[in-house]
């Protein structure tokens, strides 16, 4: 572990509970290759430590993890360093698989932003606790990329067409939406989050679910905005093609449909095509197969004009006006 990674990933074992803290607050815990390798190494070392649980959290109230350090990936692409990008994604996906297969319960405490790679760290574990400040999203189509970190496995397994909607539009879920969709499993108020590790240590023989329920505040799930539009969402985003999704949203002519259309129209057309195809077939593959497909896709996507342009507009120049290479669908410009 490098000195930087050692400072950005804080790890200890407290009364039988492993604790991993993401500690890169100025970058909203955006994951670097060194951070990913450090987390993976710690978890590997703890596999035989007879822990009752592992808690994954952040030192920042603003973010659990805002995703992977995509800006650096772009720099690697511009420099022609394919090997550096490959190392990042391969390391990240290996960690995602380890968390999914970990021998003790992994409990993620999501307070603030949790996007892209942050979901990769949390959603593959058995327990995802959100606070009232949680914001979850897979916003990759807006930067010329695609939902990765195993999203082609977990998004298609959400109820109905929720996963397709989230993957294509990059919609930001609040705590209520996260609980409604199943991306989150428990709600604990932000001021009660520090008690989770102690409670798990106090009750090593009790099921994690029971311990978390003791700490839970009143669940906000009844306030889910996604629940209110679920019927329309399943109909529109359950369509077999992007063109048909577009058509059904226009037919609905509701504020929700208009917002969804606007999100699709601002996304990279190339990313939408990749994402739709990836999610459509994801349900028939294992997590490791999905991660393998995603890794293969990264090799071409990170060199694509839309990725270079999307990251420039969002994270480098921050002008939020990407100029996409237009793609055509059925003889017309996609979603035009």
Does 67 participate in catalysis according to the annotation?
Answer: no
Q: Of the listed 69, 92, 148, 246, which one is catalytic? A: 148
Q: Of the listed 140, 174, 246, 294, which one is catalytic? A: 140
3-state secondary structure the chain: CCHHHHHHEEEEEECCEEEEEECCHHHCCCECHHHHHHHHHHHHHHCCCCCCEEEEEECCCCEEECCECHHHHHHHHHCCCHHHHHHHHHHHHHHHHHHHCCCCCEEEEECCEEECHHHHHHCCCCEEEECCCCEEECCHHHHCCCCCCCHHHHCCCCCCCHHHHHHHHCCCECHHHHHHHCCCCEECCHHHCCHHHHHHHHCCCCCHHHHHHHHCCCCCHHHCHHHHCHHHHHHHHCCCCHHHHHHHHHHHCCHHHHHHHHHHHHCCHHHHHHHHHHHHHHCCCCHHHHHHHHHHHHHHHCCCHHHHHHHHHHHHCCCCCCCCCCCEECCEECCC
Q: Cα(150)–Cα(156) distance, rounded to whole angstroms? A: 10
Q: Retrieve residue 221's tokens.
A: 């799930």
Does 68 participate in catalysis according to the annotation?
Answer: yes
Q: Of the listed 116, 117, 120, 170, which one is catalytic? A: 117
Q: Of the listed 8, 40, 67, 68, which one is catalytic? A: 68
Q: Cα(116)–Cα(109) distance, rounded to whole angstroms? A: 16
Does 243 participate in catalysis according to the annotation?
Answer: no
Q: Please say whether the beta carbons of 148 and 294 come within 8 A.
A: yes
Does 117 participate in catalysis according to the annotation?
Answer: yes
Which residues belong to the active site? 68, 117, 140, 148
């Amino acid at each position: 572990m490098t000195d930087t990674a050692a400072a950005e990933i804080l790890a200890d074992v407290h009364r039988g509970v492993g604790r991993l803290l993401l500690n890169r607050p100025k970058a909203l815990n955006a994951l670097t290759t060194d951070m990913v390798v450090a987390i993976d190494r710690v978890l590997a070392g703890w596999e035989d430590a007879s822990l009752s649980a592992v808690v994954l959290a952040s030192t920042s109230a603003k973010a659990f993890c805002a995703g992977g350090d995509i800006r650096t990936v772009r720099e690697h692409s511009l420099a022609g360093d394919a090997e550096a990008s490959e190392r990042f994604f391969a390391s990240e996906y290996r960690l995602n698989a380890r968390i999914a297969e970990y021998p003790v319960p992994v409990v993620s405490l999501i307070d603030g932003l949790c996007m892209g790679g942050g979901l990769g760290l949390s959603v593959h574990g058995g327990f995802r606790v959100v606070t009232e400040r949680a914001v979850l999203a897979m916003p990759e189509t807006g930067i010329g990329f695609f939902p990765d970190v195993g999203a082609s496995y977990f998004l298609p397994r959400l109820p109905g067409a929720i996963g397709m909607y989230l993957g294509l539009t990059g919609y930001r879920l609040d705590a209520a939406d996260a609980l409604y969709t199943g991306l989150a499993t428990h709600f604990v108020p932000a001021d009660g989050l520090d008690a989770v590790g102690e409670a798990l240590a106090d009750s090593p023989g009790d099921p994690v679910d029971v311990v978390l329920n003791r700490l839970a505040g009143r669940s906000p799930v009844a306030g889910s905005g996604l629940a209110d539009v679920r019927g329309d969402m399943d109909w529109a985003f359950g369509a077999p093609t992007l063109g048909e999704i577009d058509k059904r949203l226009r037919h609905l002519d509701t504020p929700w449909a208009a917002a969804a259309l606007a999100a699709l129209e601002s996304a990279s057309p190339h990313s939408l095509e990749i994402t739709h195809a990836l999610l459509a077939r994801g349900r028939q593959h294992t997590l490791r197969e999905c991660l393998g497909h995603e890794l293969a896709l990264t090799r071409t996507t990170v060199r694509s004009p839309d990725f270079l342009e999307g990251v420039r507009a969002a994270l480098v120049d921050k002008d939020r006006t990407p100029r996409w290479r237009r793609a055509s669908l059925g003889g017309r410009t996609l979603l035009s």
